[in-house]
Structure 1
């Protein structure tokens, strides 16, 4: 989605966005998403075993991605981020929400980890739709839309933001996009070897793509800050990927651009009214990377829940104040550096470890495409 915004004009010149992307009806018509108003785009990474059109992924592809079988994963949202675009101008801001944030879910689903909102909504709709005779791809797409609506509602309650647009990328699609852009420069503070995600990387700067890129953003086992370190990786990865595309020939070379478009079409599902070109025009300086990434504040990164095991405890009022204060502070600035909000007093040691990653040293990256560009090292 960030790549589409940054290169929206070129993307639309090559192909009408309506002709390729999968679209779902998940945003209420009463929501004002007109150009010039505040835009809050919910971006999620789905742990789904289908493509954006509901087609099951082949078993060999799932194995290569360390994704398990077609029935594994529950279609949870592994990545949750809100991209806020001010209506009156000013830089965009991305707010990451840890997937294990313990929140009240909509529709009587109870209090659970926010990443399960999609599964609860999807499963409830799947049962009802199947009983009414819906089957095949339509069953997958329509039940997925219900999961998206449940996630949107949970995020709105936590953040206080009205979600105006929605974008979701699936497992295989994410790997394909990273390959289409020629790989993404990253940097690690220490080597990692994680059998759960398939992440096996040396320390230091390197370029990842395909299944390795997916493993880089999915790993949380063995990291000092757990899910919070994973959030930090995702922020840095997105910044680096956008920079890589904007500083290379991907959007101007027809062959490379078409490969990216094909990957995006397969990977991305968006709401019915999303207009990439209009959004791109509303974000000044997006092509120079002026997106500030932040993680919402937490209370306790090792909170023991009654039914869901260990989760991330959050305070909605503190989250909403942080978002309001951050947006106010970002007005008129253009600092793109990702950051993690410090945990409030009483936060766990793992939360403190995650907040320290914002001070990780940046190393020169010869793969980024622009002299003097840097990629922050992370856990």
Structure 2
């Protein structure tokens, strides 16, 4: 039996749960944060329909994008808007930002193409409410053309693939403006498809937002009140705030929604920051002090003109008018459920995993088809359970065991128990930060070997981790582990009829929700 190693070689040091990390590549955190901030700003335009008297001519002023795969004719009972943040150093009309504007948004020279903020806004057809559902940027998805990817990299992957194809067919090895326009369209459509595959919702409209609008909108309303549980001084994002309620604007507001380092749940807690901020910004926009102030309204509409690109078939003025009577209490902010925040690809890239069936069921609840108790109507037909696979051959399954506890030799003892059942012993690892709860991780849903191992260890839950090679499983032993236990017969009886996931701790699984009603300012990390 080999000695337990001190760390897991397949795991990168940058954990998703807010422990101290090494600084990432220069410019990346700020670029991601600015994208997030831009989406926060324009979402408020979308769900409030502000300044209706000033929207005359706004349709013609907004930049538009053609050839997008959007629109399902309202068949799912809601108007669905995909809001995407981009890291452009130009405005929506292609004009470069001035040096003063670049300084205001605290940007650098490096261009970026990841879409690090993705929101699906669901509005029932009667316009009575709006729910903005955040999709974490690190969610791992399968795509039809470019393979598995973090969802924030889908746009750039499709765009790059289109440019590469154009280059191959170019007679002189150069690219035309048309090639670039086609590549951008392919990037947008690739992302639209990935979101549909994850959520089960086909977007009716698409909105893409640049960087400048956030600062302009926040300043236009005179700042936004926020509340922090503790003092914050985090240099990577520039967040430097005292605890309690305070009003922030401009670049300081951008830093507030950018921070993810030193937060307990990393990017998920940053989403909480964004949603708390958005709820207060919507509340500010809906207030009489904004709606009766021509200067504020003019500045808000100007921010939309400079930073907002929409699909060419969207009559934004008509849409805004339908929402003009919406109340703040009916503007909600939610986050999709995830199955893990600490998984890794085979290249050591940190990812978040989500079950599309869980996500689809969750998102469906925010359309108009709800029953009396507020839950979504059941979809027509029940999904068939996977066919029970033939008996597992233990000698074909390699099991890595990770000990996250302070119990010396636990991985070795559990591995030995599994070896007695015929499983092939893999690495024995010690990684105190690997997980919160004991579980068996498999490369895909319904993996029979994972369920066999789980049953042999007393019925541990099973979760999916795409980074695990086929023919292998990983056992993670946390403080709640009470085995090893199990009989050899468990290998024959394993039946993955349903995929279960290791439960996340309440602090991660139970994401707070926000709305734009009331007078309180919610306090967050």
TM-score normalised to structure 2 length:
0.60
**For residues 268-310 of structure 1, what are the alpha-carbon distances to aligned partners after superposition, in whole Å with 9 as ceiling and x for unaligned?**
1111122234334555852334122211110001111123611
Per-residue deviation, 1:253: 2.3
Deviation at 1:175, TM superposition (A): 1.7
Higher CA-based Rg: 2
Distance verdict in 2 for CA 1:29–1:79, change over 3 Å: closer
Cα distance change on mapping 1:276 and 1:119 into 2, 3 Å: same
Name 1:175's counterpart in structure 2. Answer: 215
Q: Is the 8 A contact 2:70 2:203 kept in 1?
A: no
| Residues 307-364 of structure 1, C-alpha deviations (whole Å, 9 max, x = no match) | 3611111111111112224547966799xxxxxxxx9852455xx434456289x9xx
Matching residue of 1:85: 123
Other structure's SS at 2:108 match: coil
CA shift at 1:84, angstroms?
0.9
Alignment of 1:245-284 (within 5 A): 245-283=285-323
Partner Cα separation in structure 1 for residue 162 and residue 348 of structure 2: 22
Q: Show CA shifts across 1:2-46 (max 9, x none).
A: 433455373354432223211111533764269x95211011222
Give the counterpart of 1:346 among 502, 516, 523: 502
Residue matched to 1:19: 60
Contact 1:9/1:277 (CA < 8 Å) preserved in 2? no
Relative distance call for 1:165 and 1:333 in structure 2 (3 A) is farther
Query: How do residues 117-136 of structure 1 correspond to structure 2 at under 5 angstroms?
Result: 117-127=154-164, 133-135=175-177
Distance between the aligned counterparts of 2:179 and 2:236, measured in 1? 30
Contact 2:52 2:320 in 1 (8 A): no
Tell me, yes or no, if structure 1 residue 10 matches structure 2 residue 51.
yes
2:150 aligned partner: 113
CA contact (8 A) 1:4 1:276 kept: no
| Corresponding residue number in structure 2 for 1:338 | none
Please, what is the CA RMSD of the aligned residues? 3.3
Aligned positions of 1:65-104 closer than 5 A: 65-71=105-111, 74-87=112-125, 90-104=128-142
**1:373 equivalent in alignment to 2:524:** no
Once the 2 structures are TM-superposed, how far is the Cα of residue 51 of structure 1 from its aligned partner? 2.1
Distance 1:140 1:11 in 2: 35
Instruction: List per-residue Cα deviations over 1:120-149 (Å, max 9, x = no partner).
Output: 1233345566856534xx877664443222
How far is the alpha carbon of 1:250 from its aligned partner? Answer: 2.8
Give the drift of 1:115: 0.8
Which residue matches 1:32?
A: 73
Match of 2:203 in 1: 163
Distance 1:378 1:129, change over 3 A: farther
Aligned to 2:93: 53
Select between 301-310 and 46-55 the one with higher mean Cα deviation: 46-55
Gap runs ≥5 in structure 1: 335-342, 363-367
Scaled by the length of structure 1, the TM-score of the pair is 0.81
Distance (Å, rounded) in 1 between the aligned partners of 2:46 and 2:209:
15
Question: Which deviates more from structure 2 when the two are superposed, residues 12-21 or residues 169-178?
Answer: 12-21
Q: Structure 1's 212 and 353: CA in aligned 2 closer, same or farther, altered over 3 A?
A: same
The answer to which structure has the higher helix fraction is 1
Alpha-carbon separation, structure 2, partners of 1:94 and 1:66: 27
Q: 1:178 to 1:126 in 2, by over 3 A?
A: farther
Partner of 1:224 in structure 2? Answer: 264
| 1:202 aligned residue (227, 231, 242) | 242
C-alpha spacing 1:6/1:89, structure 2 compared with 1 (3 Å):
closer
Give CA deviations for 1:166-225 in whole Å, capped at 9, x if unaligned: 112222222222112221111111222222222222221112222222222222122111
Q: Quick one: distance in 1 between partners of 2:127 and 2:105? A: 40
Q: Is the 8 A contact 1:303 1:313 kept in 2?
A: yes
The number of residues matched between the two structures is: 355
Which structure ranks higher in relative contact order (CA pairs < 8 Å, sequence separation ≥ 6)? 1
Residues 46-55 or 316-325, more deviating: 46-55
